[in-house]
Amino acid sequence: MGLRTPLYGLHVALGAHMVDFGGWDMPVNYGSQIEEHHAVRRAAGVFDVSHMCVIDLHGARVREFLRSLLANDVARLTQPGKALYSCMLREDAGIIDDLIVYFQGPRWYRVIVNAGTREKDLAWIRARAAAFEVEVHERRELAMLAVQGPEARARLASLLTPPDAAAALAQGLFFGTQLGEWFVARTGYTGEDGFEVMLPAEGAVELWNRLNELGVQSCGLGARDTLRLEAAMNLYGSDMDETTQPLESGLAWTVAFDPADRSFIGRAALEAARIAGGGQRQVALLLEDRAVMRSHQRVVTSAGDGSITSGTFSPTLARSIALARMPAAAAVVGSTVQVEVRGKLLAARVVRPPFARHGRVLVELQGDGNSAT
Amino acid sequence: MSNVPADLKYARSHEWVREHSDGTVEVGISDHAQHALGDLVFVEVPAVGRTLQQGEAFAVVESVKAASDVYAPVAGTVVAVNEALGKTPEAINQDPYGAGWIMRLKPAGALAAAELLNADTYTTLADAG
């Protein structure tokens, strides 16, 4: 038996197909993964993400600590509630994890890390927090629900008191607010608008049921994966890990090199890699043929081989899409590469990510999906 | 619980076989198999006229999760295929024993020799995982 979230019993009662996910028993779908995916692109869906790890950091020097710990710069967070996406790096710039950090106040930040990396992340953070007199509190008593889709914010807001609903709806993108016992943030992992809600575990089942009553679709990890891949968002452990750096994982935009005098873990290795150039880059691929790209498949390019890091069938595009890592010289939008799918070399086009967002396809599909060859 | 019609025969590799009065058999994958695969997105059907050995891979069903081969439950010659699956692969999820049929085969020999399972035996096998 794996670890269970406070919603485990409800998932089973709803007929979810449960799978092991990093040691957790999680719902992969409640029937049709594709219907759940479409519900989020077109209306609203709810995901149990309570397996993720919420860590509160407190202390007079917590800002200074995070400016040293993270590759992105929390000094960019000037308004309370504002959130930032960042990598946490090793000295050699290998990615320990990707995370979201919320600025709660001058002495308090909240960090959300992945479930599968929880123990090593906590160990890494604790080992460095002491020198800054920062206290590290894991908030295991919280459940987390992601409510996503064009109608998600309105549906969730209808469950709040009028003043809380107004406050929640007034939040800008990537802001979070404490509303009574709930922390409501305008964040997500689907390429749609929505909220992520952290709340005391004992209230999670009731919230889920009330969202279902409002027509919000129960969604599993299967739809979460196809939605995030259409939005070209990385998955830790697939698209990056400790052996890869942000610059070769499509995450250069998350590294704050300015100001030049900010010292952070991994900075020296990143600057060396930037000067050296070349290496590998992440690309987004659209398959021209009717088949499905999968992780670890070989990508053949004019500059050498690469590899698929995440591949799937995109329900919104009705085509196969992937993220891949390949030689920088061949990572040119518009060029064609070949992917080895079940023993055959099939044509795929390098496209500008994301593939889909806010209910719309954002790449040129060029005809019916049949290869020109 | 998956649906296992009593009037069909089954292979251990999760295909079903329906005997027709003209001596041909219809073949598809079981409800248990479609459920395990998840939403199907592509189906590759064989060419009409192809001869198959028992246990030979004749079709590929690809779901959001993975691609899987489908194996011939009996030896024979393909006499018809379900071309509609090219446009509507989800028919296998929605109606695995009807609109989700994959091919019709003229068996090379007696069906009894294929040692197919009856519904009860297949149910026990499928429930065991």
Residue the block writes with tokens 């004019």: A302
- The answer to whether residue B117 is domain-embedded is no
Give the residue-averaged pLDDT of B40-62.
Answer: 96
**Res A372: pLDDT:** 37
Domain identity same for A218 and A300: no
Domain assignment present for residue A333? The answer is yes
- Per the domain annotation, does A61 fall within a domain? no
Domain assignment of residue B30, given as a range: 9-108
What confidence tens digit (pLDDT) does each residue in A22-58 have?
899 999 999 999 999 999 999 999 999 999 999 999 9
pLDDT attached to residue B129: 64
Using pLDDT thresholds of 50, 70 and 90, give the confidence band for residue A305. Answer: very high
Question: A187 pLDDT exceeds 90?
Answer: yes
Strands A45-48 and A217-219: parallel
Number of domains comprising chain B: 1
The mean pLDDT value for A151-169 works out to 98
pLDDT digits (tens, 9 = 90+) for B110-127: 888 889 999 999 999 988
- Which residues on A lie below 8 Å from B65 (Cβ)? 222
DSSP letters along A27-48, please?
Answer: EEESS-HHHHHHHHHHS-EEEE
Measured in angstroms, the CA of B50 and the nearest CA of chain A are apart by 21
List the CATH number of the domain containing A304.
2.40.30.110
Using the Cβ of B57 and the Cβ atoms of chain A, whether some distance falls under 8 Å is answered with: no
Residue B124 located in a structural domain: no
Q: Is residue B37 part of a domain?
A: yes
> pLDDT (tens digit, 9 = 90+) per residue, B92-103?
999 999 999 999
What is the helix (H) or strand (E) element at residue B10, kind and residue range?
strand B9-10
Helix/strand number for chain A, H first, E second? 9, 21
- Full residue range of the structural domain in which residue A36 is found: 8-49+141-230
Locate A221 and state its tokens.
């990890």
User: Are residue A28 and residue A167 in the same domain, yes or no?
Assistant: yes
Q: What is d(CA A169, CA A163) in angstroms, rounded to the nearest whole number?
A: 10
Q: Which of A170, A198, A230 is the last residue of a domain?
A: A230
Q: What percent of chain B has pLDDT over 90?
A: 89
A294 interfacial to chain B (CB closer than 8 Å): yes
What's the number of domains chain A is made of?
2
Instruction: Tell me whether residue A94 is in a domain.
Output: no
Task: Flag whether A294 is in a domain.
Answer: yes
Q: Is residue B90 assigned to a domain?
A: yes
| Run of H or E residues at A169 | helix A162-170
- Check CB contact of A313 with chain B, cutoff 8 Å: yes
Out of A33, A290, A294, name the one closest to residue B39 (CB).
Answer: A33
A44 lies in some domain: yes
Q: What is the pLDDT of residue A368?
A: 45
To probe the interface with B, which of A33, A228, A341, A370 has the most B CB atoms within 10 Å? A33
Does A221 lie in the same domain as A158? Answer: yes
Look at A222 and B93 and tell me if their CB atoms are within 8 Å. no
**Residue A370 pLDDT > 50:** no
Minimal-distance CA residue of chain B relative to A36: B39
From A199, A230, A261, the end of a domain falls on: A230
* Together in a domain, A226 and A285: no
pLDDT of residue B1: 62
Spell out the residues 6+ positions from residue B112 whose beta carbon is closer than 8 angstroms to its own.
none
Residue-level pLDDT at A235:
98
Q: Are residues A199 and A306 in the same domain?
A: no
Of A28, A292, A342, the CB nearest to B41: A292
> What's the mean per-residue pLDDT of chain B?
95
- Separation between Cα atoms, residue A341 and residue A323, nearest integer Å: 15
Q: Residue A369 — very low, low, confident or very high, per pLDDT cuts 50/70/90? A: very low
In a domain, B82, yes or no: yes
Average pLDDT for A244-261:
97
Are A40 and A155 within one domain? Answer: yes
Question: Is A226 an 8 Å CB contact of chain B?
Answer: yes
Query: Which phi and psi (to 5°) does residue A82 adopt?
Result: -70, 140
**pLDDT of res. A68:** 98
pLDDT for A205 beyond 80: yes
Say if residues B78 and B48 touch (Cβ distance below 8 Å). yes
Q: Which member of A29, A291, A315 has the closest CB to residue B38?
A: A29
Given phi > 0 = left and psi -120 to 50 = alpha, else beta, which region is A231?
alpha
Domain membership of residue B113 (yes or no) is no
Q: Angle, to 10 degrees, between the axis of helix A33-42 and the axis of helix A221-230?
A: 50
In a domain? residue A97? no
Pairs across A and B, CB distance < 8 A: 35
pLDDT of residue A278: 85
- The 10 Å CB-count burial string (b at 16+, else e) for B41-61 is bbbbbbeeeeebebeeebbbb
- The CA R_g of chain A, rounded to the nearest whole Å, is 21
Phi, then psi, of A254 in degrees rounded to 5: -95, 0
B115 in contact with A, Cβ within 8 Å: no
Please name the residue that has the structure tokens 């248990």: B32
Residue A254 lies in a domain: no
C-alpha dihedral (B111, B112, B117, B119), degrees to nearest 10: 80
Q: Which of B64, B69, B93 to mutate to test the interface with A (most CBs of A within 10 A)?
A: B64
Closest residue by Cα to residue B100 from B36, B54, B34: B34
Asked if the bond preceding B5 is cis, omega within 30° of 0, the reply is no
In terms of domains, do A175 and A298 share one? Answer: no
Contacts of A312 in chain B (CB under 8 A): 64
Which tokens in the block code for residue B75? 């030896």
Q: Is B65 on the interface with A (CB under 8 A)?
A: yes
Contacts of B38 in chain A (CB under 8 A): 17, 28-29, 33, 222
Per the CB < 8 A criterion, the answer to whether A124 and A81 are in contact is no
B1 in any annotated domain: no
In a domain, A208, yes or no: yes
| Segment A134-161 mean pLDDT | 98
CATH number at residue A29: 3.30.1360.120
Asked if B83 and B109 count as a contact pair (C-beta separation under 8 A), the reply is no
Is A171 in the B-facing interface, judged by CB distances under 8 Å? no
Bigger pLDDT: B2 or A318?
A318
Residue A291 pairs with which residues in a beta bridge? Answer: none
Residue B72 has pLDDT above 60, yes or no: yes
Question: Confidence class of residue A233 from pLDDT cuts 50, 70 and 90?
Answer: very high
CATH of the domain at B34: 2.40.50.100
**Chain A residue closest in CA terms to B36:** A17
pLDDT of res. B110: 86
Chain B: give the shortest CA distance to residue A46, in Å. Answer: 20
pLDDT at A373 over 60: no
